[in-house]
Structure 1
Amino acid sequence: MATTGEPKYILSAGLGRFASMDANAAKHFGPGAGEKARELLAGSIAKAKAAGFEVIEDTLRRFTEQLSSRKWAAVNVGYGVRGHKEHTETFERLLDACRRICPGAKIIFSNGPDEVITAIRRNFPEDFQ
């Protein structure tokens, strides 16, 4: 399943360490939501790395700066950011920044911290033959 050559870089925006302060994350993951989200994300990122992808996870605040740092194969936006109305403005700003700064990057969506690899597989099926 692993590819050869240079890794494909994916920038992933999520709640990260702030998941523990988000009511929706706490409702979904229960007590220790931040730690549980980090554990799930680490497992998903490890699977992506084994398949030849480098996932750079970042907080929302540094996201735009990261977009300019390299050529990205894709930008992932997690469900914690896009799935709740209180984050709509942030979600819109992320997509606008992607469109302006990285017009060639795919924009992909994961449904949870453990599903970053699922979003990558869905959008790069040729890398998982």
Structure 2
Amino acid sequence: MAMSSEPKYILSAGLGRFASQDANAAKHFGPQASEKTRELLATSIAKAHDAGFEVIGEDVNPSDPDDTIKRFAAQLESRKWVAVNVGYGVRGNKEHTELFERVLEACRTVRPEAKIIFSNGPDEVMAAIKRNFPEDFQ
């Protein structure tokens, strides 16, 4: 596995602390969905770190899309990102379609050079990284 000395930063948009408020997340992860998703994401972040990537999460609040986009855009502007990961909780729920579109539009306008990648859950962030940066895992 090739590792560069500089970490590669990935911003990850997921439900995070707001997962327990989402019916689909609660159905999948249980009544403590927020804690479970944060725990799974922490494991993914540790694996990514070991591979030379720094994953920084930004919690998406479907109940407050304006605040979410404000925080997300500030994160996008804060550093050079090699990728932005959008979790399944954000993009896999038809009630979140408008918010998902706004997240992608912020990526396109603020950090067009960053790859857009998609994880299928907080425990699958590393799979998305491997899929989109295969050269780092040869």
TM-score by length of 1: 0.96
Separation in structure 2 between the aligned mates of residue 101 and residue 81 of structure 1, nearest angstrom: 19
RMSD: 0.9
Does 1:9 find its partner at 2:9? Answer: yes
Stretches of structure 2 that go unaligned for 5 or more consecutive residues are: 61-67
- What residue is the counterpart of 1:119 in the other structure? 128
Does 1:77 find its partner at 2:86? Answer: yes
Please list every run of at least 4 consecutive aligned residues from structure 1 whose deviation after the TM superposition is greater than 2 angstroms: none
- What residue is the counterpart of 2:26 in the other structure? 26
Question: How far is 1:32 from its partner?
Answer: 1.2
- What residue is the counterpart of 2:114 in the other structure? 105
Separation in structure 2 between the aligned mates of residue 9 and residue 122 of structure 1, nearest angstrom: 16
Q: Name the SS for the 1:68 alignment partner.
A: helix
CA contact (8 A) 1:2 1:50 kept: no
Q: Aligned residues, how many?
A: 129
- What residue is the counterpart of 1:44 in the other structure? 44
Question: How far is 1:4 from its partner?
Answer: 2.8
Stretches of structure 1 that go unaligned for 5 or more consecutive residues are: none
Identity %: 77
Separation in structure 1 between the aligned mates of residue 112 and residue 96 of structure 2, nearest angstrom: 23
Any idea what the Cα deviations from partners look like across 1:18-67, whole Å, max 9, x if unmatched?
00111000111112111111111111110000000000101232111111
- What residue is the counterpart of 2:64 in the other structure? none
Q: Name the SS for the 2:78 alignment partner.
A: coil
